[in-house]
Amino acid sequence: MGGVRKLAVSFVVPGPCGVAIRDRLKNLTPQDERVLRAVGEHQGALASGDLKARCADGLEHGADTWAARKRELTTRSSSRIAGAITKATHDQWALARRCQAAHIQKLAAGINTLRHRLSLPLGEKGTKRAAGGYRSKSEWFRKSRRLAMLEDRHATVVAEWQAGRMRVVRGGRRLLNTRHHLTQAQLTEEQWRQRWEAERWFIGADGESGKRFGNETIRVTPDGEVSIRLPAPLAHLANAQHGRYTLTSTVAFAHRGAEWADRITANRAVAYRIHLDTQRGRWYLTASWQRPVVKTIPLETARARGMIGVDTNADHFAAYRLDRHGNPIGDPRRFGFDLSGSAGHRDAQIRHALIRLINWAVRAGVAAIGIEDLDFTTEKIREKHGRRKRFRQLISGIPTGKLKARLVSMAAEQGLSIVA
């Protein structure tokens, strides 16, 4: 019984705590675009400098260094913009920290697998839970060299983790590396440069409860009029009072527009972000705000009121309605999706499958959806399934993180809880 997998204790997943909606800024004049680009470039440069300072602080960061950075940024912009930039910097640094921890975990999993396989006799067969020995002395030697390489990498990353050394790229490391592969990306140097600069701009502001329409820096009225409080060096570009610039374009949020209007009418905090999609040549405004955490029901209550059990596969969700004891009721249901093609296509396929699943759960009258808390960290490494490249690609293609986030947020809108 030593090889039997142990199941973790089930738990009810907390619901979503925020909302984001988006609308396009249409019919902008050339002057509007010039002002937006100037603001983005100016504040993007400030954000880059602040991120550099935060990375230099490492683990020595504290309230005093944060306040010092914010004071320095305030003289070159405003207090509110400085607060938004420093908050975005800390979020980005924290994300890089979490990614570094995940990288250490993946390296450790590869090292453990290699050590196990190298310790086995040549040609020994594996099991469903553990890989066997290597086929030849040549393969054993190559894998021993790879083990030494991974151990060296692991030691380097652990040392950086302990020292608090982060390597963060504003604009994204993937886009940065694309600069060296323009032919494969079907981009010219000018097109790449435009995308790179746009990704490094910063045109955003956090909301403030009690301020007019919930945001003093980027203000959107109930009629959809958008105005921006310009930073001090760009105050000469203002076309309205108090150093503000009003865009000719208006917005009208089709999704959650009533909820957004209720918030700004009551002067409750709403954060805004403006960004340029260089591929389409379109400007967008994103509004976001926090919501009270959805109150989750106890696990026993969810079981008593009935659940839908879901098994995630490479191309479909297999679902069964369960009674309070976990026994299946009725016939199983299958909700297929296709994970080939572009990222947008894959995302749409997952979304459509989840919509069908949730609609069926609502019609069935259950209180929760039960799904396995998947983690393929050890399955994705090449050390365990080195020769089975197609299988590794299949496992890596299942969007477990995006699936969890989407399922939780979409189910909460229908009053359903998620049991993992």
The structure tokens listed for 265 are: 């009418």
Within a domain: 355? yes
Q: pLDDT tier at 16 (50, 70, 90 boundaries)?
A: low
* pLDDT for residue 397 is more than 70: no
Q: Among the listed ranges 26-30, 32-36, 204-208, 291-295, which one has the minimum average pLDDT value?
A: 291-295
Measured distance CA(60)–CA(68) in Å, rounded: 14
Read off the CATH number of the domain in which 410 is found.
3.30.420.10
Within a domain: 244? no
- Write down the pLDDT at residue 376: 44
| Angle 153-156-157 from CA coordinates, rounded to 5° | 85
pLDDT tens for residues 155-167?
999 999 999 999 8
Nearest residue to 227 via CA among 35, 397, 383? 35
Within a domain: 304? yes
Q: Among the listed ranges 106-110, 168-172, 364-368, which one has the minimum average pLDDT value?
A: 364-368
Within a domain: 407? yes
- Write down the pLDDT at residue 88: 92
Q: Among the listed ranges 72-76, 161-165, 407-411, which one has the minimum average pLDDT value?
A: 407-411
State which amino acid sits at residue 418.
Answer: I
Measured distance CA(31)–CA(237) in Å, rounded: 9
* pLDDT for residue 90 is more than 90: yes
Within a domain: 74? no
- Write down the pLDDT at residue 2: 45
Asked whether the beta carbons of 317 and 307 are under 8 A apart, the reply is no
- Write down the pLDDT at residue 31: 95
Boundaries of domain holding 393: 294-419
Within a domain: 236? no
Q: pLDDT tier at 134 (50, 70, 90 boundaries)?
A: confident
The count of domains in the chain is 1
Nearby residues of 63 by Cβ (< 8 Å), 6 or more positions away:
none
- Mean pLDDT of all residues in 305-330: 78
Within a domain: 114? no
pLDDT tens for residues 353-394?
888 888 888 888 877 777 776 554 444 555 555 555 554 555
Measured distance CA(385)–CA(396) in Å, rounded: 12
The structure tokens listed for 102 are: 């995940």
Report the percentage of the chain scoring pLDDT > 70.
85
- Write down the pLDDT at residue 78: 85
* pLDDT for residue 47 is more than 80: yes
- Write down the pLDDT at residue 374: 56
* pLDDT for residue 310 is more than 70: yes
| Segment holding 394, helix H or strand E | helix 389-397
* pLDDT for residue 396 is more than 60: no
Q: Among the listed ranges 137-146, 208-217, 340-349, 386-395, which one has the minimum average pLDDT value?
A: 386-395
Measured distance CA(346)–CA(355) in Å, rounded: 14
Asked whether the beta carbons of 319 and 308 are under 8 A apart, the reply is yes
- Mean pLDDT of all residues in 77-87: 90
pLDDT tens for residues 254-303?
888 888 888 888 888 899 999 999 888 899 999 998 876 655 556 676 67
For the chain, counts of helices (H) and of strands (E): 13, 13
- Write down the pLDDT at residue 1: 40
Q: Among the listed ranges 59-63, 206-210, 239-243, 331-335, which one has the minimum average pLDDT value?
A: 331-335
Higher confidence at residue 154 or residue 2?
154
**C-beta pairs of 7-10 under 8 Å, 24+ apart in sequence:** 8/373, 10/299, 10/370, 10/419, 10/420
- Write down the pLDDT at residue 70: 92
Within a domain: 353? yes
Positive or negative, the CA dihedral 28, 30, 31, 35 is positive
